[in-house]
Amino acid sequence: MNRILTILGPTACGKTSFAANLAYALNGEIISADSRQVYRGMDIGTGKDLVDYHVNGTDIPYHLIDIVDAGERYSVYEFQRDFYNAYNDIMSRGKTPILCGGTGLYIESVIKGYEFDGRKFPEFDSCIIGLDIARDMRREKISRRLRSRLEEGMVDEIRALLDNGVPSERLIRYGLEYKYVTLYVLEQLSYDEMVSLLEIAIHQFAKRQMTWFRGMEERRGIKINWISTELPLEQRIDIVKGLWQK
């Protein structure tokens, strides 16, 4: 059976940075499992944080980021197809494939080989690592990250998408940052209302992610090895190495 290393966790837990450091240690490449990072031009709001893929002077290769124009539809089936192509490409070069993201349905669809539109993909033997972040720390990081993204120009990013012809209703459908900032740009919310509602929505989103991950374990029999984000980076990497090499 095909094998893959998977890194998951709620938003703001540090998945990308950890996965990139892990890829550096394991000669790996990252396949993103994020339903919004596939879109070009949606950078700040989706938290692509591409600088995190530069580790110790090395650029870590990544896949399934910036592959679809903003405003287009992208299905779970398309993700499965693109994931499998990326996986085969990585394996053909003798590298370690690392699936990283917080979109539980995307992750499950490839691990379990879910069938959509009558096309069947193989299941994967996946060593799944969950980043366990304390609730208070998660909430603090979400709030701090939101302020940072606003300072980095998230409102201007979304204005540019609208100016480039992306329909407002499509951006709103993408949710979270794209929903509330679009409503602000359309003058349906004040700035303070936008920030307040968005912060609440992101906290609620993180809770839903954790509910999905618990469902993976408790109802769908998927083993997740949880590792505390409070452990030093090198210790976390050593733990994952041990699990991966079993």
47-73 per-position pLDDT tens digit: 999 999 999 999 999 999 999 999 999
For residue 111 the two structure tokens come to: 């691990």
pTM above the 0.85 mark?
Answer: yes
Return the pLDDT at 246.
Answer: 82
Closest CA to 40 of 197, 169, 157, 183: 157
Query: Which residue spans of the chain are classified as CATH 3.40.50.300?
Result: 2-134+221-244
Alpha helices (H) in the chain, listed in sequence order: 15-26, 76-92, 104-111, 135-152, 154-163, 168-174, 176-185, 191-218, 233-244
Q: Which residue has the tokens 């993103």?
A: 32
Q: Would you say residue 118 has pLDDT above 80?
A: no
Return the pLDDT at 74.
Answer: 96
What would the mean pLDDT of 218-239 be, rounded to a whole number? 97
Percent of the chain at pLDDT exceeding 70: 100
Q: Would you say residue 117 has pLDDT above 90?
A: no
Name the band, by pLDDT with cuts 50, 70 and 90, for residue 116. Answer: confident
Closest CA to 28 of 3, 46, 49, 45: 3
What would the mean pLDDT of 117-146 be, rounded to a whole number? 93
Return the pLDDT at 195.
Answer: 98
Q: Which CATH number does 137-202 carry?
A: 1.10.287.890
**In 3-state terms, what secondary structure has residue 217?**
helix
Query: Which residue spans of the chain are classified as CATH 1.10.287.890?
Result: 137-202
Beta carbons of 115 and 40 less than 8 angstroms apart = no
Q: Which CATH number does 2-134+221-244 carry?
A: 3.40.50.300
